[in-house]
A = this chain, B = another copy of it.
C-alpha cells in the first residue's frame, strides 16, 4: 500500500507507452503524437502527458520504435582499421561524430570495416542503422561502389576518385597545400619543398596526399618559387634521411612544408641536426592537427585538420539526406593557416612584406 504510483517505474525497462496513456487518461496514440509532434494535440493534454512521462520515467523502446516506424535513429560510423592511420585524429573525428549525432537525436554504432561488404549489408538489411558515415576514405575505396548499390544514405569523410552518387566532406587539401606554398612565398622564400606522406600512401593513390602535393606545387610555381615534393616515412631514421637527401639535392631550400603528422617532430630534429635554425634561417609550416603543432619546439605554423568540423559537417549532411533534402556532392572545408614560431619572420635578406594594400 505504500507509494503505489512508483511501483512500475522502479523496474527499469518495464514502463511502456500504454502505462503512460493510462496514467494520463488518454489513448496510446495520443501519447505517441505528443512525442512525435506529427499531429496537433491541445496544450492541456500535451502537458498532462508530458507530466506522466516524467513521473513514470518513461523511455520508448528502441526496437519497437524502429519496427513500427522503419527508422532506428542510429547511424553507423565505419572505420577502416588500416595500419598507418593516425589514431588520435581518428578518435577526434569519432567523438565529434558521436556528439553531433546525439544533438540530432541519433546514436552511433561503431563498425570496423574488417567485416567487409557483408557487414554493411547486414546493417542495411537488418534496419539497424538509418545511415552511414565512412571515415578515412581512400582515392580508390572499395566501399564506394558497394555504397551505390546499397540504398542507404551515407556520407564519406575523404574524397574518392569517383564521387558520383555519393556525398563527401573533406578538408580542401589542394587549398591547404596552396596555402602553405603561398605562406612561404609571402615570407620571401624562393626555393621550397614539401615533405609528404610515406611513399606507400602515394602508392595507394590516397586522394588527400596527392591533392596537397598538387596544390603546393602549383601555387609555388605560380609564385615563381622553385618547388620540390618528396615522400617521408614516419620513423625518426627515415625522416632524418629524407631531410638530409632533400637538403643535399637542394641546399638552397629555405621553406619547408610538412604534410605528415607523425614525422613532424623528427623533421624538426633533423633540420637542427643539420645546422638549420627553424624559424630563423629556415621556415617550416605543417599540415597537421593543432595539438601536434603546438607541442613541438619551436611551435609550428600549421594548417590544422579540422577534425571536429568535419565530423560535425558529415553528420549534418547525413541528417539532411535522411530528411530527403538534396545535398552537395562534395563539401570542401577551407583551410585555415595559423602562423606560429616556426615561420614567424620573413626570410633574411628579403624585403619585409606587410599586408598588401593597393
> Which residue numbers of A lie inside 8 Å of B, CB to CB?
12-13, 15, 57-67, 70, 72, 74, 77, 79, 81, 87-88, 90-92, 94-95, 98-99, 102, 107-112, 114-115, 119, 121-122, 124-128, 150-152, 236, 265, 295, 297
**Contact of A13 (CB < 8 Å), options: B74, B112, B125:** B125
Q: Which residues of chain B are within 8 angstroms of A57 by Cβ–Cβ distance? A: 125
**What are 19 of the A-B contact pairs (CB < 8 Å)?**
A12-B125, A13-B124, A58-B125, A59-B121, A60-B126, A62-B63, A62-B72, A63-B64, A63-B66, A63-B67, A64-B67, A87-B91, A87-B92, A88-B91, A90-B91, A98-B110, A98-B111, A102-B119, A107-B111
Q: Are A77 and B13 in contact (CB under 8 A)?
A: no
Q: Are A102 and B125 in contact (CB under 8 A)?
A: no
Q: Are B236 and A297 in contact (CB under 8 A)?
A: yes
Q: Which residues of chain B are within 8 angstroms of A87 by Cβ–Cβ distance? A: 87-88, 91-92
Shortest Cβ distance from A235 into B: residue: B294
| Identical copies of this chain, number | 2
Q: Are A63 and B59 in contact (CB under 8 A)?
A: no
Q: Are A109 and B110 in contact (CB under 8 A)?
A: yes
Given the known A-B contacts A60-B126, A67-B61, are A109 and B107 also in contact in the complex, defined by CB atoms under 8 Å? yes
